[in-house]
Structure 1
Amino acid sequence: MASLDGRIALVTGASRGIGYWTALALAREGAHVIAVARTTGGLEELDDAIQAEGGSATLVPMDLTDMPAIDRLGGAINERWGKLDILVANAAVLGTISPIGHVEAKVFDKVMAINVTATWRVIRSVEPLLIKSDAGRALLLSAGVAENPRAFWGPYAASKAAVESLARTWAAETVKTPLCVNSVNPGATRTAMRALAVPGEDPKTLPHPSEVADRLVPLCGPDCTETGRLFRVSDNRFFDYPVSQ
């Protein structure tokens, strides 16, 4: 894989889990990471880890329900760097594992606001910067339930299906530009969200998020020219839509 030296990467949900480890892995490869998350302490831990390995990061404590703040993010990146090379749209919330009819309206609204609306708002805010890059790369994190919904996962599954649709639409709109846009299904991973979703599961049976991050980093460089596809981490390869199960 080519070095990411000099490339600017934006990672949302960077304070823990897959976002944290992907941000660290990108910095390790030479990218300057713009790390976005609500939890300041987690961002500071990430910054310490990146600096310990000789990398650099800019921390952006932000609640992704603050839509005007997302709108301002693209302008701030443009003012400082003039472009963006990599977007990893990772931030998401689970909501509740519950029958659809029992989901509270405020829970459903929050899942859609953070997982879908905020992702769209980030896309809108930074798309001009990614297109300025000689090889812009965008990864939108999805989940297996987007293609294979299961009982009680309604809000989360619906939100991730929407994210995949956004990714495919965006890829089609930018196919004649240097920007490549793909969805990523990380699979079951040893994260806090997974522990909430499946509390009886032994986390040691699941891949560590650093293992997922190692698979994502090669998708962020100029050598990866796939677009409009789904990358399934468990298979370590791209799939066309529709994906057979």
Structure 2
Amino acid sequence: MTLDLKNRVAVLTGASRGIGYAVAKELAKTGIHQVLVARTVGGLEELDDEVRALGGSATLVPLDITDMQALDRLGASIHERWGRLDALIANAGVLGVLAPLSQVKAKDWEQTMTVNLTANWRLLRSLDPLLRKSDAGRAVFMTSGAARRAKAYWGPYSVSKAALEMMVRIYSQEVAMTPLRANLFNPGPVRTAMRAKAMPGEDPQSLPHPSELAPAIVDMLSPELDRNGEVYDWPSRSWMSPGPAA
């Protein structure tokens, strides 16, 4: 059954391809107004056509997630137009380089941390006051099994995702006494460009399409969901705690 999220507003980052693109199409069926964020104007415009064809509505925001001032302006613009935010899906991320830690270049380390961690913190910082104004604010951040598995050559990506999980856990504790809930989603292996880069010899047809897991992400925006500071692991279709609460 499709959620009814009419008269609500959501921000979705990394919307122009992969998982973000599929989630935007799924959200279009709920009636929620989407603020779609991505770097590529062409991808956003193509997605906008599909969202509208499905009966949805969207505001397109072409920006680079590493532009911290732009993220601050995003919060201000949403406040001016709607006065609140009901959902955040922080989907944008990068794989970075796969290399021994001692050989990772500083600029590559910094880019991975900036996109996967710092930009999400700035996004949270910008949008937190708006999410708190919702009667049931929901924030979902994309994680990975790499956050909990020490695997050679995956240092920048794994460290960034492990830090992201800790950030979301801390934030979930800070909002525990409010209607706002913050959780993480682990998609597992999915047919995306990032997966192809990480596993170049893998048959993409052996992996699930992003559209298969998009409904599970959308379900995490339900006002009825009371999970907080947890990870929904899509491969196992189960919830898990990333660690004990303080």
Question: Does TM, normalized by the shorter one, top 0.5?
Answer: yes
Give the superposition deviation at 1:29.
1.2
Tell me what 1:142 maps to. Answer: 143
Give the superposition deviation at 1:173.
0.2
The runs of at least 4 consecutive aligned structure 1 residues that moved more than 2 Å come to none
Q: Tell me, in whole angstroms, the C-alpha distance in 1 between the residues paired with 2:191 and 2:150.
A: 20
Q: Tell me, in whole angstroms, the C-alpha distance in 1 between the residues paired with 2:101 and 2:29.
A: 42
Give the superposition deviation at 1:15.
0.6
The within-5 A match list for 1:83-162 is 83-162=84-163
Q: Tell me, in whole angstroms, the C-alpha distance in 2 between the residues paired with 1:174 and 1:163.
A: 17
Cα deviation digits, residues 106-156 of structure 1 (max 9, x gap): 111100111111000000000010010000000010000001121111000
The within-5 A match list for 1:8-47 is 8-47=9-48
Tell me what 2:216 maps to. Answer: 215
Q: Tell me, in whole angstroms, the C-alpha distance in 2 between the residues paired with 1:25 and 1:225.
A: 21
Q: Tell me, in whole angstroms, the C-alpha distance in 1 between the residues paired with 2:139 and 2:238.
A: 16
Q: Tell me, in whole angstroms, the C-alpha distance in 1 between the residues paired with 2:242 and 2:92.
A: 23
Q: Tell me, in whole angstroms, the C-alpha distance in 2 between the residues paired with 1:126 and 1:226.
A: 20
Give the superposition deviation at 1:235.
1.7
Give the superposition deviation at 1:97.
1.2
Q: Secondary structure at the match of 2:95?
A: coil
Q: Tell me, in whole angstroms, the C-alpha distance in 2 between the residues paired with 1:138 and 1:149.
A: 27
The alignment status of 1:198 with 2:160, answered yes or no, reads no
Say which is worse superposed, 2-11 or 157-166, in terms of deviation.
2-11
Tell me what 2:54 maps to. Answer: 53
Give the superposition deviation at 1:242.
3.1
Paired residue type of 2:99: S
Give the superposition deviation at 1:212.
1.5
Cα deviation digits, residues 71-90 of structure 1 (max 9, x gap): 11111001011110000001
TM-score (structure 1 length as normaliser): 0.97
Give the superposition deviation at 1:99.
1.1
Cα deviation digits, residues 154-190 of structure 1 (max 9, x gap): 0000000011011100000000000000011110100
Give the superposition deviation at 1:214.
1.4
Q: Conserved in 1, the CA contact under 8 Å of 2:165 and 2:242?
A: no
Q: How many residues align?
A: 243
Tell me what 2:8 maps to. Answer: 7
Structure 2: gaps of 5 or more residues: none
Cα deviation digits, residues 24-81 of structure 1 (max 9, x gap): 2112111111000111111111101101111100000001111111011111001011
TM-score (structure 2 length as normaliser): 0.96
Q: Tell me, in whole angstroms, the C-alpha distance in 2 between the residues paired with 1:221 and 1:76.
A: 24
Give the superposition deviation at 1:237.
2.1
Give the superposition deviation at 1:98.
1.1
Q: Secondary structure at the match of 1:132?
A: coil
